[in-house]
Amino acid sequence: MAVTSTQTGDTVTIQVIGRFDFATHRDFLNAYKDLPRGQKKFVVDLSGTEYMDSSAMGMLLQLREHGDKSQPVELINGNEGIREILRIANFDKLFKVA
């Protein structure tokens, strides 16, 4: 499991590799907590994510509260199973899922 982040301009991309569950909470929070609240656009790259549980969904909601309210958090590159989990939970209404 690994969480990395990169920043380009006002966009921060967070990549989650492996399992996205409670064990990643600290690393995920550290990827954005020191950035100014409400001033950054966030993209979460799920291309390397094998598994996601409800605690990961809670972390995404916390990230949503931290980001720029005028720009939805983007969840990109999730595999079919992860996209289905997000759809069932109606996260496609709260996030931009691509």
Query: Greatest CA span in the chain, whole angstroms?
Result: 33
User: What is the C-alpha to C-alpha distance for residues 18 and 68, in angstroms, rounded to an integer?
Assistant: 27
| Entry pTM | 0.94
Report which residue type is found at 69: K
- The model's pLDDT over 9-53, given as tens digits with 9 standing for 90+, comes to 999 999 999 999 999 999 999 999 999 999 899 999 999 999 999
Q: Which domain holds residue 88?
A: 2-97
b/e map 63-80, b = 16+ CB within 10 Å: beebbbeeebbbbebbee
What are the tokens at 45? 């790259």
User: Quick one: pLDDT at residue 68?
Assistant: 87
Helix (H, G, I), strand (E, B) or coil at 71: coil
Domain total in the chain: 1
Average of per-residue pLDDT values in the chain: 94
The domain that contains 41 carries what CATH number? 3.30.750.24
